[in-house]
Amino acid sequence: MNVNCLVNFRVAVALAALLALAACGEKKTELGQGGSVVAGSAGPQGAQNAARELVRCDAPVATLALAENPNGYVMGTGYQLPASPVPLIKLLAQQSGCFRVVDRNAGLRGTIQEQDLKEAGVLRQNSTVAKGKGYEAQYTLTPSLTFSEQDAGRGLAGVVAMIPVLRDIAGLAGLVEQVKFKEAQTALLLSDNETTEQVAAATGAARTTDLGLGGLVFGKLGGAAGVGWSNTNEGKVIAAAFLDAHNQLVVQVRALQAKQLPPLVPTAHATKG
């Protein structure tokens, strides 16, 4: 069976499977499927269902705030990526146990709003929301998207055409043209809020290969449930690159001297004990 026949056979099988599913008339939603490599949860029960590749710390070294990159994250891309990777990186930072994360974004605005409502007399006077209870951010982490390329292997077909043995294989050049390499590089910059010194920096990278066969795409980067930047092929590669950058950063964070941490918020598990 030559290459063209093999491709056509695979496409036919895939289409037959899709038609069979459509004929069932049943819409199926699979929880925990279709996301990126950044997955799971973090909280009082620790990291749950986190990526196996995630590098962790034995204990937190400081409190951490995530800052949006002032230059944004818009790249030359055909995809409509969400505006920010910060929610993903917050999850990674909390799952790794290297930091205790404090909110300086929407959550902080919610806190200020509740305090204003209390001062305006809208809330009960014995409300637990009050000024002077917030924790300081001892470090600030700023993410950056260095580049994201949807077709990094654009010249592969040209290479095949230059090699006589490969050039003469029927249909190979057309097949190679459908191979897409998606690549991304990211960076994480860690600053000490007490001294303003940048104490650590790390880059991360990820690459995936899509084999487009008759409009079907194979070899996508997958994983469990993601947050925000996980709904496109390119977004999944970027999520993986931030996971890689986080792992590179943890190596440096482990060498930092731990700061004096604020007291832990009591949990239901702790109070029962």
pLDDT band at 258 (very low <50, low <70, confident <90, very high): very high
| Other beta carbons less than 10 A from residue 158's beta carbon | 11
pLDDT band at 49 (very low <50, low <70, confident <90, very high): confident
Q: Is residue 147 part of a domain?
A: yes
pLDDT at 104 over 50: yes
What number is the average pLDDT over the span 92-114? 92
SS3 39: coil
pLDDT, tens digit, for every residue of 159-170?
444 445 444 444
Lowest mean pLDDT among 4-18, 34-48, 59-73, 110-124: 4-18
pLDDT given at position 5 = 58
The residue that leads in pLDDT, 162 or 252, is 252
Global pTM reads 0.67
pLDDT band at 81 (very low <50, low <70, confident <90, very high): low
39-75 burial string, b = 16+ CB within 10 Å, else e?
A: bbebeeeebeebbeebbeeeebbbbbbbeeeeeebeb
Lowest mean pLDDT among 9-23, 37-51, 140-154, 249-263: 9-23
SS3 202: strand
Q: Is residue 33 part of a domain?
A: no
Q: Is residue 123 part of a domain?
A: yes
Matching residue, tokens 């590669």: 237
* CA angle in degrees (0–180, nearest 5) for 64-267-46: 55
Q: Is residue 203 part of a domain?
A: yes
Give the structural domain span for 92.
38-260
Q: Is residue 265 part of a domain?
A: no
The residue that leads in pLDDT, 267 or 260, is 260
What number is the average pLDDT over the span 66-78? 68
CB 7 within 8 A of CB 213: yes
pLDDT band at 9 (very low <50, low <70, confident <90, very high): low
Q: Is residue 28 part of a domain?
A: no
pLDDT band at 234 (very low <50, low <70, confident <90, very high): confident
* Strand arrangement, sheet containing 179-192: 99-102, 62-66, 139-149, 179-192, 198-213, 216-218
The residue that leads in pLDDT, 247 or 72, is 247
pLDDT, tens digit, for every residue of 186-216?
999 999 999 999 999 999 988 876 654 433 3
Percentage of the chain surpassing pLDDT 70? 59
Domain count, the chain: 1
> Angle, nearest 10°, between helix axes 86-96 and 233-253?
40
Q: How far is CA 76 from CA 142, 147, 151, 179, in A?
A: 21, 9, 12, 20
Matching residue, tokens 């960076």: 187
